[in-house]
Structure 1
Amino acid sequence: MSSVTDFLLNRASEPRLEAPAPDASTLDQAFACAARAPDHALLRPWRYMVIEGEGLKALGELFAAAHSNNGDEKKLEKVRKKVLRAPMIVVGIASPKKHHKVPEVEQLLSAGASMSFLGLALQDAGYGVMWRTGKMAYNPVVLEGLGLEKGESITGFLYTGTVSSTKPAVPRPELAEFVAHWPA
């Protein structure tokens, strides 16, 4: 088995992350890997936003502003703290371009592949990652607050940092559950 296959078979999302986050050089290399995602017509239909330090607190405030809380301050505080589960969050943004040959769905898949490559590269560098979406990824207050343009969407929030504790292995599906041969 190749080292890439072995790495993929052992890949896992890591919810317990702490400082340090990836340094600038590691992050640059991970973004270079993200740019290697399949990309019909080389449209580069993605972009990224790195949030850390005080930016995490600002993101927490943005999430709180977007949350319908009915005046429940405890819920708002919980929403604010969610972004502090890692020392760095990379926001993946799908940014499709108008193109006569490449439909938007292909570009969205490319942006997702780019985000996946980013996460894999960070894990290969020794960091843990957790790709999260949830309601905030689709909330118009969050989209506007982060400066997304019309037609852009969030592919996810990639929480990253040093793994603070390992979690139990997640059961994986049997191949027969999702693989078929055609014609049967």
Structure 2
Amino acid sequence: MSSALEAARGRRSWSKVTEEAPTREELLPLVAAAGRVADHTRLMPWRLVELRGDDRLRLGEAIGRATGDGPSTKPLRAPLLIAIVSSPRPSGKVPEWEQEAVASGVAHTLSLLLDEAGWGVMWRTGGFVRSAAVAEAHGLTRREKLLGWLYVGGRPDRDREGFRAGVDPDRVLTRMPGA
């Protein structure tokens, strides 16, 4: 088992994947682990929508309605899409922006876990993510927001080309002014 540091250092986005995908049974323990992100008062202000097979065609049609173009083939780029939904809960303590951050944390943690398990993953968004047609296709309530999809599939037989270097921590880790 690798460490969290190794998983974070080795993570990359896979823009092209094969038609293999984790089964629901393989996905469930990863989702359970991803759900352990920091979550003030344990509201669980998120949910995931699993899209496979014809679900991806229906999403392509919804994207087409949202953009005014024909059906999009973008959802067919991976055999499994996992929609990340911010699903805020009423709370006097936890503002909605913090709840959305929790949903983002779940998505990122899940992408790390999928990557570590050997799957190719890319978090995709687009201008149509917050459109009514796409929200309706996912069965979102009025309060929920779609944050994008994790596109998941097998890794192609090639090196991890395009692997990007880490950030320079001295450029992004500063002290509070006046410290």
- Residue 128 of structure 2 aligns to a residue in which SS? helix
- Residue 18 of structure 1 aligns to a residue in which SS? coil
CA contact (8 A) 1:18 1:162 kept: yes
What CA distance in whole angstroms lies between the structure 2 residues aligned with 1:177 and 1:50? 38
CA contact (8 A) 1:94 1:154 kept: yes
Q: Out of 96, 105, 111, which is 1:104 matched to? A: 96
- Provide Cα deviations, 1:11-60, integer angstroms capped at 9, x if missing partner: 11111111211112211011101211111111110001000111111111
How many residues align structurally?
175
Q: Out of 139, 154, 167, which is 2:161 matched to? A: 167
Asked if 1:30 is matched to 2:24, the reply is no
Aligned match of 1:116: 108
What CA distance in whole angstroms lies between the structure 1 residues aligned with 2:29 and 2:128? 28
Query: For 1:45-84, what aligned pairs fall within 5 Å after superposition?
Result: 45-69=45-69, 76=70, 80-84=72-76
The amino acid that maps onto 1:100 is: G
- Seen in structure 2, the aligned counterparts of structure 1 residues 135 and 81 have a Cα distance that, compared at 3 Å, is same
What CA distance in whole angstroms lies between the structure 2 residues aligned with 1:169 and 1:116? 17
Unaligned runs of 5+ residues in structure 1 are: 70-75
CA contact (8 A) 1:34 1:114 kept: yes
Moved more, 123-132 or 2-11: 2-11
- Residue 22 of structure 2 aligns to a residue in which SS? coil
What CA distance in whole angstroms lies between the structure 2 residues aligned with 1:126 and 1:108? 27
- Residue 137 of structure 1 aligns to a residue in which SS? coil
When the two structures are superposed, what TM-score results if normalisation uses the length of structure 1?
0.89
Asked if 1:135 is matched to 2:137, the reply is no
What CA distance in whole angstroms lies between the structure 2 residues aligned with 1:137 and 1:51? 15
Q: Out of 76, 81, 85, which is 1:93 matched to? A: 85
What CA distance in whole angstroms lies between the structure 2 residues aligned with 1:37 and 1:15? 26
Unaligned runs of 5+ residues in structure 2 are: none
Asked if 1:126 is matched to 2:152, the reply is no
Aligned match of 2:171: 177
CA contact (8 A) 1:38 1:110 kept: yes
Aligned match of 1:72: none
What CA distance in whole angstroms lies between the structure 1 residues aligned with 2:95 and 2:113? 27
- Residue 38 of structure 1 aligns to a residue in which SS? coil
CA contact (8 A) 1:26 1:125 kept: no
* Deviation beyond 6 Å, 4+ runs, structure 1: none
Aligned match of 2:9: 9
